[in-house]
Chain A
């Protein structure tokens, strides 16, 4: 079993829809990361959080430490949001390494 599981693997939605991507993990963590990768592009960090909720524009990330679960929400989705969204966790025993989820491929149709 992977230590970081994302769902769904693939998601196609219409422009304007509310999007939710989920991440569950099985290890103790010091932080959880959400990252974005556009086709052919590098990886960009969206959020790093260890509790509660963070918001940046139309993106919202939440984490429930007790349930070992995080969600990334996109409100009023747009075709430019089409990308792979990756969840990763910083293991509490390591300051350096991240444990990676497999990613969620999101396609927003106009």
Chain B
């Protein structure tokens, strides 16, 4: 079974802090994704990566950056957290079409 893990299930940070969300997959997948999920808005793609050190912006990249130094690990960085970044963050990985999701990190920025 594919396993995608995220570093935290719940995280509370203060406005202006730098926040790191980590995602690790164990299936040697080429592609990895970061989404945020908000009520009424569904899933929105923040960034994705199709190879080590390769990344592309998704629909809502503003205020976020990513890092993929190793194939199995994809990090989402909030350079200076703001209250409007309070959300559920979901990581996924895929080889072709089917995406496998981690359990999600519920981030609250106060």
Please tell me if the beta carbons of A86 and B43 are within 8 angstroms of each other in the complex: yes
Residues of A within 8 A of B45 (CB): 97
Chain A contact residues, majority secondary structure: strand
- Total chain A interface residues with beta-carbon distance under 8 A: 19
Chain B contact residues, majority secondary structure: strand
Count A/B pairs, Cβ under 8 Å.
45
Please tell me if the beta carbons of B42 and A102 are within 8 angstroms of each other in the complex: yes
**Which of these binds chain A: B12-20, B77-85, B95-103?**
B95-103
The distance from the CB of B3 to the nearest CB of chain A, in whole angstroms, is: 11
- Total chain B interface residues with beta-carbon distance under 8 A: 23
| A57 close to chain B: CB less than 8 A | no
Please tell me if the beta carbons of A30 and B97 are within 8 angstroms of each other in the complex: yes
In the assembly, what is the distance between CA of A43 and CA of B99, in Å? 10
The distance from the CB of A37 to the nearest CB of chain B, in whole angstroms, is: 8
- Which A residues are closer than 8 A to B by beta carbons? 30-31, 33, 41-45, 48, 86, 90, 95-98, 100-103
- Which B residues are closer than 8 A to A by beta carbons? 31, 33, 40-45, 48, 50, 58, 90, 92, 94, 96-104
